[in-house]
Structure 1
Amino acid sequence: MELPVLNEQPASKGGCSASSCGTTDDQLGHLSDDIRAKVENHPCYSEDAHHYFARMHVAVAPACNIQCHYCNRKYDCANESRPGVVSELLMPDQAVKKTMAVAANIPQMTVLGIAGPGDPLANPERTFETFRRLSEEAPDIKLCVSTNGLALPDAVEELSKHNIDHVTITINCLDPEVGAKIYPWIFWENKRIHGIEGARILIEQQQKGLEMLVAKGILVKVNSVMIPGVNDKHLAEVSKTVKAKGAFLHNVMPLIAEAEHGTFYGVMGQRGPSPEELMELQDACSGDMNMMRHCRQCRADAVGMLGEDRGDEFTLDKIEDMEIDYQAAMEKRKVIHEAIAEEMNSKRAAKAESANLHAQAEKLTTRPVLMAVATSGQGVINMHFGHAKEFLIYEASPEGVRFISHRKTDLYCSGDDSCGDGESVLQVTIRTLEGCEAVLCSKIGFEPWDMLEQAGIMPNGEHAMEPIEEAVMAVYKEMAAAGKLDEAKAEQRATA
């Protein structure tokens, strides 16, 4: 069956970014069939799914009951891509109309989440009115909530009444002394509580809420922000604890701390982790917990595939005049979702066969290599180097290929030609790819080709439209055959 066209947005504007769709999704392999059915088309819970399915957030929750040093909420901002930022605040009826407009126009949208810009459970009336309406009027859409957890225990019963079987809790620590460095205060029982005592109450509420959700059969994903020098040495313990209490997925995210965002950490010069530091911590936590590595730290009003934002297509003024036949839209959505499932299953079968052949083949004895991939989605290499606003990072080794992370190329720049400190956009892009030894894309120009080679990164445009993991392994084997992967050269590269 031919897969319908799912995203009509031009490739140059970006698109879904994910690990290869051909994976068997290691995150889900250990789960029971009933739980796997809940998440297999959830782009924020499944690496496979987020390469095909879209999500959206509605900004109905402006108030927050805690203060985080990494947060600065903005309610009318179209230029920043991070949590806590929105262009428009919505009332529940507006949120419902917007959700149904998006679902009708982006039929691969499967998930509606409320994630801010404050905390959804600090705005219970607006949050639950939105959920009540959507569970009745759009029953084919999964409903999710993301919370800091302070008000969670009191909300679990209400959450369980609606079509909500996924909750994300941000848990950054278990030690109140660590928490006091992250949270200056909480608002609890009508008073502001500071420091260690406030952090202690927050931690207790988070853990209690997690246990209550699991007891109700609601799936829990835990988010943690990695803050070097603050909680980075502590998060492995967090991962072990939340897994023991029933969370099934842990998302360790890098701190966003650019000064221009106006957060306390940003103004005070607290740095974020390097890609290497983040990968090392994620790998350390993965021994105790299934790790999510494809998070994009989305805006509180994000719309579309992960890695893209189509929110400007569905502003209040634009949806006001939309006539939506949602019954007809549901039929269309069902057809497209079935086609996606068929393609995903086909790719999984092909991946399993390829993995079996790889296991039977003589194993390489070479070292691992990081490679960057430019893609606009569908699990293939289909983006020009110059059009990529982010790259997917894969590790190739004798054991196979695994998705590591994504790296944005426009975090520190503005304008078309130059970034801060006199660097060009191209120079910043190449610096973003530090540690990678190859970059795979559909096409690449002469200037970036030369600059990549000078930086020790091998450009490769020979695998356009090929499945990502197959192409990465092919390039890895070519590098091995050329003698580029022996340990002596690795040591020479490390000291260069």
Structure 2
Amino acid sequence: MELTVLGQDEAAAAVADSGCSTGSCGSTNDQMSDLPDAIREKVQNHPCYSEEAHHYFARMHVAVAPACNIQCHYCNRKYDCSNESRPGVVSELLTPEQAIKKTKAVAANIPQMTVLGIAGPGDPLANPERTFETFRGLSEEAPDIKLCVSTNGLALPESVEELSKHNIDHVTITINCVDPKIGAQIYPWIYWNNRRIRGEKGAAILIEQQQKGLEMLVERGILVKVNSVMIPGVNDEHLKEVSRIVKSKGAFLHNVMPLIAEEEHGTFYGVMGQRGPEPEELQDLQDDCAGDMNMMRHCRQCRADAVGLLGEDRGEEFTLDKIEAMEIDYGAAMKTRAVVHAGIMEELDEKQAKRERLAAASVPDAQGLVDTRPVLMAVATSGGGLINQHFGHATEFLVYEASPNGVRFIGHRKVDQYCIGNDTCGEKESALSGSIRSLHGCEAVLCSKIGFEPWSQLEEAGIVPNGEHAMEPIEEAVLAVYREMAESGALEEPVPAARAQQVSA
């Protein structure tokens, strides 16, 4: 693939011009319609760079990079933990040859897969031979797949030239700070020039390398997404400055993620009791950063061997023993994939055209929504941008905000599946209570079906269950429910008492 080269100033200006006046998340199709063609083409079918695309297109990661050149207080890389979904976790470490074969097998069996990323379980650029051997092979054998890399940035400047030689036009850099004093609280050490460097000195080197690498990538027209882990009391307020700086240097998208710090994961932060952010804290910080930067809110903090749509993991279908038995005609698979991708893009174009027609036909005054307050709603979906999942089958809920400005995606809330068979030791009751607690702040939950027991408990918690919009597009259904709430007078009242108590709890 020939990269379209944008100068740093030009790329930064293009990113700035793509901002959304309502501060909505990610690169939605409304935002994408205003992007330069060179950028729009790169992100329209990338599930990690486009909020719209993640409902339709799949991604996969291959775990070929075991070594890491820094230590993070939030990281503990473990193997054979297939029940965990967090960065750095893998079940099988692959050779480049195995990774290439697995990628072709997944792409042949999941034709909506568009992106192959290397994200660990260590740092891909701390394992350059294994990483670039994988990229070279895939560029030759599967040229229709986008290639991505995610890095901490320490070895990035020395790798930019090699990255630009391959079919790679997306790079993610994890940047948690631009202040060495804060960095020293996150990174106990880095491994640099064959020695371990600790504290602020090590953090300063890492920051310098990250910023240099970001500038070099932008100069070559490679899109950059910046990941940041929100650590309450450490870098939460500081991330606003991070967002401002990386945008000024041409980063396309900022992904502020919540710290994962459960004690059982064995991380330093987990053992020391460092808490993660509450959903409201994360949303507030994302909104504050959105004034300077397009924000990604649909991240699932994927495993280093994730396979499938965001929010699902089909890795067990493609273990090494299973792909060895597969017969793959990748030439035929590429033709099938092209047809599938074209069909999805046609559907997305139709949805965008419908949005534009609806926007032209109605304004907030006509909807009677001008003076109404925003409302959060949770949605159960199994993909495709539709309300198509039973409440009890959901393992996560997508959260949307409806307001006079329209509908915007806020984030996702993971839950334990409620309908899991016989109720032993109160497991079903516990899962249901946990699901309802996870929806605090929401005033309605939209799903395809819902049972009597969860319906009653949701109402007691001040959350209105709604199963009347099954198989409808999510944003249209959320807006319809919001209008119904406005017409009933519910939005003229303050936040319901039950919900206010729930939030304060």
TM-score by length of 2: 0.91
Q: How does 1:63-82 map to 2 (within 5 A)?
A: 63-82=67-86
Give me the whole-angstrom Cα distance separating, in 2, the residues matched to 1:489 and 1:188.
Answer: 53
Which amino acid in the other structure matches residue 49 of structure 1? A
Give me the whole-angstrom Cα distance separating, in 2, the residues matched to 1:288 and 1:417.
Answer: 48
- Residue 267 of structure 2 corresponds to which residue in structure 1? 263
Q: Is this contact kept in 2: 1:294–1:406, CA < 8 A?
A: yes
- Residue 133 of structure 1 corresponds to which residue in structure 2? 137
Residue 374 of structure 2 is aligned to residue 340 of structure 1: no
Structure 1 residues 273-298: Cα deviation after superposition (integer angstroms, max 9, x where no partner): 00000000000000000000100000
- Residue 378 of structure 2 corresponds to which residue in structure 1? 372
Structure 1 residues 158-208: Cα deviation after superposition (integer angstroms, max 9, x where no partner): 000111110000000000000000000000000000111010000000000
Which stretch of the first structure deviates more once superposed, 156-165 or 478-487?
A: 478-487
Structure 1 residues 289-314: Cα deviation after superposition (integer angstroms, max 9, x where no partner): 00001000000000000000000000
Structure 1 residues 400-455: Cα deviation after superposition (integer angstroms, max 9, x where no partner): 1111101101399x997589999700000000000100000000000000000000
Give me the whole-angstrom Cα distance separating, in 2, the residues matched to 1:52 and 1:368.
Answer: 28
Alignment equivalent of 2:117, drawn from 113, 117, 134: 113
Which amino acid in the other structure matches residue 394 of structure 1? Y
Q: How does 1:58-457 map to 2 (within 5 A)?
A: 58-359=62-363, 361-364=366-369, 365-410=371-416, 417=423, 424-457=430-463
SS at match of 2:29: coil
Alignment equivalent of 2:58, drawn from 54, 64, 70: 54
| Unaligned ranges ≥5, structure 2 | 1-23
Which amino acid in the other structure matches residue 302 of structure 1? A
Give me the whole-angstrom Cα distance separating, in 1, the residues matched to 2:145 and 2:408.
Answer: 30
Give me the whole-angstrom Cα distance separating, in 1, the residues matched to 2:392 and 2:249.
Answer: 45
SS at match of 2:304: coil
- Residue 462 of structure 1 corresponds to which residue in structure 2? 468
- Residue 17 of structure 2 corresponds to which residue in structure 1? none
Q: Is this contact kept in 1: 2:47–2:54, CA < 8 A?
A: yes
Q: Is this contact kept in 2: 1:27–1:47, CA < 8 A?
A: no
Alpha-carbon distance, 1:31 to partner? 2.2
Give me the whole-angstrom Cα distance separating, in 2, the residues matched to 1:267 and 1:24.
Answer: 38
SS at match of 1:78: coil
Cα 1:175/1:29, change in 2 over 3 Å:
farther
- Residue 484 of structure 1 corresponds to which residue in structure 2? 490
Q: Is this contact kept in 1: 2:441–2:499, CA < 8 A?
A: no
Structure 1 residues 304-337: Cα deviation after superposition (integer angstroms, max 9, x where no partner): 0000000000000000121111111100101111
Aligned length: 475
Give me the whole-angstrom Cα distance separating, in 1, the residues matched to 2:361 and 2:271.
Answer: 53
Give me the whole-angstrom Cα distance separating, in 2, the residues matched to 1:489 and 1:300.
Answer: 40
Cα 1:382/1:128, change in 2 over 3 Å:
same
Cα 1:78/1:488, change in 2 over 3 Å:
closer
Alpha-carbon distance, 1:266 to partner? 0.7
Give me the whole-angstrom Cα distance separating, in 1, the residues matched to 2:372 and 2:434.
Answer: 30
Give me the whole-angstrom Cα distance separating, in 2, the residues matched to 1:492 and 1:432.
Answer: 15
The alignment-based identity, stated in percent, is 77
Q: Is this contact kept in 2: 1:54–1:109, CA < 8 A?
A: yes
Q: Is this contact kept in 1: 2:28–2:50, CA < 8 A?
A: no
Q: How does 1:4-83 map to 2 (within 5 A)?
A: 25-83=29-87
Q: Is this contact kept in 2: 1:240–1:289, CA < 8 A?
A: yes
Alpha-carbon distance, 1:355 to partner? 2.2
Q: Is this contact kept in 2: 1:24–1:348, CA < 8 A?
A: no
Which stretch of the first structure deviates more once superposed, 477-486 or 219-228?
A: 477-486
Which stretch of the first structure deviates more once superposed, 30-39 or 152-161?
A: 30-39
Which stretch of the first structure deviates more once superposed, 106-115 or 471-480?
A: 471-480
Cα 1:362/1:443, change in 2 over 3 Å:
closer
Alpha-carbon distance, 1:75 to partner? 2.2
Which stretch of the first structure deviates more once superposed, 40-49 or 361-370?
A: 361-370
Q: Is this contact kept in 2: 1:27–1:46, CA < 8 A?
A: no
SS at match of 2:186: coil
Which amino acid in the other structure matches residue 383 of structure 2? G
SS at match of 1:144: strand
Which amino acid in the other structure matches residue 319 of structure 2? T
Alpha-carbon distance, 1:74 to partner? 1.1
| Unaligned ranges ≥5, structure 1 | 1-19
Which amino acid in the other structure matches residue 455 of structure 1? A
Give me the whole-angstrom Cα distance separating, in 2, the residues matched to 1:29 and 1:102.
Answer: 30
Alpha-carbon distance, 1:29 to partner? 4.0
Residue 476 of structure 2 is aligned to residue 473 of structure 1: no
If asked which structure has higher relative contact order (CA below 8 Å, sep 6+), I would say: 1
Which stretch of the first structure deviates more once superposed, 202-211 or 477-486?
A: 477-486
Give me the whole-angstrom Cα distance separating, in 2, the residues matched to 1:416 and 1:278.
Answer: 35
